[in-house]
Structure formats: C-alpha cells, structure tokens
Amino acid sequence: MFESNKALIERFVNEFWNTGRLAAADELMAPDVIIHAPEVGGIEGLKAFNTAMRTAFPDWHSTLEEVVAEGDRVAERWTGRGTQLGEFQGIPATGRTVAVPGVVFYQVRDGRITEFRGSFDLFDLLGQLGALPQAQPAQ
C-alpha cells in the first residue's frame, strides 16, 4: 500500500504540476477531495492556481526531494523551479529563475487523493523575484 500511495503522489506531481495536465486532478483526486492551501479553494481553485503558476513560470518543475508514506498518509517535500516569463501576483515578468521549497501532506483512499494540505515559501519566492523591499543597514 505504501509504495502504491507514493507512486500515486509521484504521478500527480509529474502530470499535474510538471506538465500542467489539469485533468490529472480529476483523475487522481476523489470528487470530494478536501484541499487545504492558503492560495486556493477546492479542486477548481487548485487548477486555477496551477494555471497561474504555469503562466507566470512556463518551465515550472517540481522536484520531489523526499516522499514518506505511513498508513493512508503521504508527505512530500519538494523544490519548485521556474523562470518568471509572465505576471505573477501583479509582479511583471522579471526573467529571473527561482527555486522555492514546499511541502504537501496527502491522504489517500481507494487509490485516489482525498485530502491535500500544501504550502510553499511565498516570501522566499517574492524575494527571489525582487518584489520585497531591501533592508537598509543600521546606521
């Protein structure tokens, strides 16, 4: 069971996040999936967030750094990389390449994702895009 749950998550990351195939969410997530992420609402919000990310960072790729499974839970630690070639949250394209860490905790039942709880370091991403004010040295 652990290996099949991990394989499901790896497939989800590769198809949904790395290729932008939105239908993978419908195929691999339960229709009543619960999604906890500050940036999105349900499954349609997750798809919209994916589209926004891939519009801003067309070469976006999430590398699975670590995947751990226990019972019906799977945890993934990832690093997302991409080059900002489109607007992101009001920030015009910078051409900068970013590397952003994140984590997702999943629950899997009957071969489908039933819960998604994810976060990434938005503050780090904004800093890499040059969108945060620079600290001034103390005088």
Model confidence pLDDT, tens digit, residues 89-119: 999 999 999 999 999 999 999 999 999 999 9
Distance of alpha carbon 96 from alpha carbon 74, whole angstroms: 32
The answer to whether position 50 is within a domain reads yes
Handedness of CA 51, 42, 27, 68 (dihedral sign): positive
Q: What average pLDDT score do residues 12-34 get?
A: 97
Number of compact structural domains in the chain:
1
Q: For residue 54, what are the domain limits?
A: 2-128
The answer to whether position 137 is within a domain reads no
pTM (predicted TM-score)? 0.90
